[in-house]
Structures are given as C-alpha cells and as structure tokens.
Structure 1
Amino acid sequence: MMILSLKNIVYTYKKNNMTVLDGTTIGFSSGKVYGILGKSGAGKTTLLALLAGLDKVNSGGIFFKNQNLENIDRDNYRRHEIGTVFQQYNVLSNETALTALKLCASSSVTQGNDYFYDALKKVGIDEKVANQKIKKISVSNQQRVYLAKAIVNDPEIVLIDEPAESLSELSLDMVMEYIRIYAKNENKCIIISSQSKAIAGYVDELWGLNGGKLSFIKDNVEQDKL
C-alpha cells in the first residue's frame, strides 16, 4: 500500500537561493525499506526533514495516506506517524534510557515498563543499562536508545539520516536487520539516506538524489526471493 508520496516537489534554500529538490516525485509503500543515495549537499537530509513534516515545500505536495501534509495536523503526524534518527539528536541525556524512552512515547502508548524494557532489549540494551543515565552509558548504547526511540510510538514511517554517522558505533548489519524485521513484520515504511553504497544490499529499493532529481537505481525483490 502506498503510504507516502511526493508529487513534483520543489525546495529552495532561502539563504543562498539554491534549489536542492526540483520537481521530485516518488511513492513509498508500507512493508518496504528504501535507500536514498546522494553526495553531501545533495539534499538528502532536507528531503527527510520534509517527509518528517519539519519543513514545508515551496511547491508541489507531500501526501500521507493521500492527505496533503499542508492540510493535516503536522504535530500529530510527527508525534504518531513518524519515527526519526537524525544526525542531531534530541534526547534527554540526564534521564535514564528507560525514562527517556517513556518521555518520548505518545499518550496513546499506555504500556507498563515491560513494553519499554522489551523495546530496549530488541536493540541490545539490558535492564541494568536501561536504568542508567544516557550520558553515563557508552556512545554505542546511546545510539541503540536513539534507534529504540524511533519506533517506540509504533510509527508508520521511520526515517534514518546517514546511519554511518547517526548510528556510527553500531554495525550496519545490526541496524539494517533490526529495521528490516520491523518493516516486514509490522508492515512499516523505512526510508534511509546515505552517501555510502554500503546500504544497497539491505534495501528493497535504491534511489539516487542528484541535481534535485530522484532516479531509480535498483530493487532487490528478486534477490529476496532466492
């Protein structure tokens, strides 16, 4: 099912009047993992920020379940429908991993501690580490918390910006296995931006962003069937 689509979107940076997305069109489906490849400055992070409802396009439209983001409650969309791992984190480092995860949870997630312990366990955080302050645990464990935070609200879409940087202390195998299982088992849409072709073997569809345009590179559907 098509869950998110971009139709002829244009985005221009106000500071330097540089257009990084120019008539970009693409559709994203549930249950699939997408990779967006591009050089530094190509507009990949900007694209994810637009998909997350953090900024608005100059023209064209972004549609979530056929509703234009311009016409829906964007705060609600960001809170319930989108999970993100960006290079700039917004996590309460003075709190324990468990508390931080609970504070990130939306009001619709009315689960007890077991739910959050389980979410942390899935990314390799045990109960002992879960009860330590985030600033006191290793960088790799901090990044595991960021990954758990991205899906704590059971979002329809997860956006991961440059995993080689945002999740630099974790193995790509671990990260991709985790999100692929999440995408397939829960029928979610995962979109990953990267400068590295290392993600190519893990995604269902690989796209390239260059000169403001998205172009299809390949899919791994046949490979999955083998």
Structure 2
Amino acid sequence: MILSLKNIVYTYKKSKVTVLNGITIDCSPGKVYGILGKAGAGKTTLLALIAGLDKVSSGEIFYKKDNLKEIDRDHYRLQEIGSIFQQYNVLANETALTTLKLCTTNSAAKGNAYFYEALKKVGIDEKVANLKIKKLSVSNQQRVYLAKAIINDPEIVLIDEPFESLSELSLAMVMEYIRIYAKNENKCIIISSQSKSIAAYVDELWGLNGGKLSFIKDNVEQEKI
C-alpha cells in the first residue's frame, strides 16, 4: 500500500459540522481510484487531507507507512503529491514553461527540453509554452494544469472534479492519459467526481455519502470474469 487512511474524521472548526466520519481506505500504486459523491459530500476536503493541505480532526493517514503527522509536509506536497483542484494555484502572468519550472526543484539542472517534453505530452507545443497563462485558451490552460500535476513524478495524483477542473478537455483523453500514467509509472491516482461517468475509467469506485466512504465496485475484477 502506498496510502492508507484509518478512521478519518474531519469536523469544520467554525461550524462544528462533521463532514467526514470514519473514513478508511487503502490505496495501491498502479491503480486509479474514483470517489463518487454529491456536491458538499466532502470529496474535496478528503483530497485536501490526503494532499497534506489540511489536518484531520482524528484518525491517521499513512504514506508508505509514515504518518502524515510526522513527516515533512512541505516535501510531501511538493515531491510526493500532484494535484488538480477546482481552484488552480498558478500565476496567470507567468508562461506555461515558467509555471512548470516554478513548481520543480532543481529546475535549472533539467533544462528547457525537459519541460517542453512534459508539455508536449499534454498537447502544448513550444510556441504556446512560452505564452503567459492568461493568454492561453481555457483548454490549453487545463493542459498546463495536467502537466503541472505530474511534473515532479509524484507517487500520488489527486484530481478534483475533472468535469469542472478539466472541463474543456475530452474526459476520455484525460482518463486514458491518467490510466496509462498510473499503469506504466506505477502511480496511484485518486479522482473525485459527482458524475457516474468516471466509473468506466477507474479500477476501483467508492462512494462518499453522509460522511462515510463505501466500496462500490472493482473494474479490475470485472475484467477478469
């Protein structure tokens, strides 16, 4: 297991509302996990906890058997986790090329060719790579966000609501890209969505409802039948 959540509880400090209650799941590398739930179910909160952007109220999150409470969270967020949230964390006045460089350690040693190749994989050529983010079409901006999520070769990639965060891209294209990345690079991908359409693209589908996470189906097992 690369990621393990044990009895996770999360309560909003101001409202005292508990949005996650007893969440337990183990995730393995090389697999794509889908978390299905309605708006407000706590999907984004759950991904934020996994990303180390917030802390659980109780319970434990383990990354490669290390408790998130005890590791260097800055290193974890930069190197081990890649994420695409609905609220993008990018600088609109920077180019696509610079955006990737800014979120990469030792970027000078890698050279421009490394970043151009990463952008090329998601459909961004060199000319577009040197335009400011705010000058790009929405679809190309979203391609940059996808490249940014995996530029540091993270072990875990989190995608929050792909129908919104990657709305201008083909879902089939994005999911195929993600599935290949997960399988070929042995990475763990976790996707949250309100849409049942993600069911066809994930290895395991889970449902989040009433603060509880429940297993729905395993596409890997179905493929073997």
Do these two structures clear the TM 0.5 threshold for a shared fold by scoring above it?
A: yes
In 2: Cα distance, 1:220 partner to 1:103 partner: 37
Question: Match of 2:97, as an amino acid?
Answer: L
Structure 2: 5+ residue runs without aligned partners? none
Please state how far the C-alpha of 1:224 moved relative to its aligned partner.
Answer: 4.3
Q: Structure 2 matches for 1:187-198, cutoff 5 A?
A: 187-198=186-197
Contact (CA 8 Å) 1:52, 1:78: kept in 2 or not?
yes
Aligned to 2:155: 156
Deviations 1:96-123 (A, max 9, x none): 1111111111237831111111110111
What fraction of aligned residue pairs are identical, expressed as a percent? 82
* More displaced stretch, 156-165 vs 103-112: 103-112
Distance in 1 between residues matched to 2:12 and 2:162, nearest whole Å: 24
Mapped partners of 2:98, 2:55: distance in 1: 32
Partner of 1:98: 97
Tell me the amino acid that sits aligned with residue 53 of structure 1. G
Instruction: String of CA shifts for 1:148-200, please: whole Å, max 9, x gaps.
Output: 00000000000000001111111101110111111001000000000000100
Runs of 4+ in 1 over 4 A off after TM superposition: 223-226
Matching residue of 1:21:
20
Aligned residues: 225
Contact 1:37 1:194 in 2 (8 A): yes
Counterpart AA for 1:204: D
AA matched with 1:142: Q
| Deviation at residue 18 of structure 1 after TM alignment | 1.0
The whole-number CA distance in structure 1 between the counterparts of 2:146 and 2:224 is 28
Report the 3-state secondary structure (helix = DSSP H, G, I; strand = E; otherwise coil) of the residue aligned with 1:160: strand
TM-score (norm 1): 0.97
Once the two structures are superposed, the pairs formed by residues 100-139 of structure 1 within 5 Å of their partners are 100-107=99-106, 110-139=109-138
User: What is residue 48 of structure 2 aligned with on the other side?
Assistant: 49
CA distance in 1, matches of 2:102, 2:85: 18
RMSD: 1.3
Q: Residue in 2 aligned with 1:184?
A: 183
Q: Is it true that 1:88 corresponds to 2:90 in the alignment?
A: no
Name the SS of the counterpart of 1:200 in structure 2.
Answer: helix
- Shift of the 129–223 alpha-carbon distance from structure 1 to 2, 3 Å rule, reads farther
Paired residue for 2:76?
77
Q: Which amino acid aligns with 1:131?
A: N
CA contact (8 A) 1:109 1:153 kept: no
Matches within 5 A, 1:28-67: 28-67=27-66
Alignment gaps of 5+ in structure 1: none
- Supply the distance in 1 between the matched residues of 2:123 and 2:48 (Cα, whole angstroms): 28
Match of 1:201 in 2: 200
